[in-house]
Amino acid sequence: MNKKSLPPISFVLGGAGSGKSFFAENLCDLSGLSKVYLATSEVWDDETAAKVSQHKKQRGTGWNTIEEPRDIAGVLFNRHVGEVLLVDCMTLWLTNVILAEADIDSAIKSALDALSACACPVVAVGNEVGQGIVPENALARRFRNDNGKMNQTLAATADLVVHVVAGLPQVLKGALP
């Protein structure tokens, strides 16, 4: 495999089951760098445990996995040159921040500041959740709006933005390596 240089920040987004994580993993593989996987999911039930297991199987070996549901800034600040960091996923991270009743604007700013300061390339994965119907409850509407705001800010910050639909990448910003 030929090594490809990744931009400092790549953002891969799409709907659930779109193939965004698989695409992001392949970007990291192409870099030839030491791969670090930042898992933000908290396992609350059997369904989530099965999904986490599926993700682990899909990405295979060769990854150093860090499980951190909320303090992604701390992980980003502790990365090194020679690594590539995959954050999967920003949407689950935001969910954890909301459920912890933390200051969302401050958490998003802290995470984006850490992304910009990270010593290695970062590939962040996120869900596009704003294309469906308006949720009926206030918490779901707040989540949808906060996720949209986070995605917009992350896309503005990122050097490469790719939207994955049905496993097909659509470059929205920048160029694929």
What is the reported pTM?
0.94
9-172: CATH, from 3.40.50.920, 1.25.10.10, 3.40.50.300, 3.40.50.150: 3.40.50.300
Task: Give per-residue pLDDT as tens, 126-151.
Answer: 999 988 888 899 999 999 999 999 99
The pLDDT of residue 2 is 60
Mean pLDDT of the 80-88 span: 97
Cα separation, 100 vs 95, in Å, equals 9
C-alpha closest to that of 112 among 131, 93, 96, 128: 93
CA-to-CA dists, residue 34 to 29, 64, 142, angstroms:
9, 8, 37
Q: Would you please indicate which residues are annotated as catalytic (active-site) residues?
A: 55
Per the CB < 8 A criterion, the answer to whether 18 and 167 are in contact is yes
Q: Which residues contact 140 (CB under 8 A, 6 or more apart)?
A: none
Task: Give per-residue pLDDT as tens, 30-68.
Answer: 999 999 999 998 888 899 888 888 888 888 889 999 999
Instruction: Answer with the residue of higher pLDDT: 54 or 94.
Output: 94
